Amino acid sequence: MISGAECRAARALAELTRETLAELSGVDAEAIQAFERRLAPPESGAIINLRCALEEAGIIFIPENGGGRGVRLKFNGPDTRRIATLEGEGGRVGIDDVP
């Protein structure tokens, strides 16, 4: 499970609007706003969809590890652009997915 604060922070790091996250996750933008503002919790299926959409956008959720829970980007902007450039260069195709 993720909290509303983690959702808001992850959305900000991934530079996604609520509307874009709503499209990616299938969760209504108003439900996302209520969740982030701690006004109303969405159903558990919606939270799973939000988390999956954010992870697809490059977010990693950090579990409680003594320092607190949090979020971070899988890659920073320049890394992501460089990977996109390398993937678009052509050549032989192989299994080279980056974890």
Mean pLDDT of the region 8-22? 94
Which tokens belong to 49? 């969809």
Residue 46, token pair as written in the block: 């919606």
Q: Could you write out the DSSP letters of every residue in 26-87? A: ---HHHHHHHHTTS-PPPHHHHHHHHHHHHHTTEEEEPP-SS--EEEESS-HHHHHHHHHHH
Q: How does pLDDT run across 67-76, given as a tens digit for each residue?
A: 678 888 887 6
Q: Are the beta carbons of 59 and 72 closer than 8 angstroms?
A: yes
pTM of the model: 0.72
Q: Which domains does the chain have, with CATH numbers?
A: 4-87 (1.10.260.40)
| Per-residue pLDDT at 47 | 94
Please determine, for residue 99, whether its predicted confidence score (pLDDT) is greater than 60: no
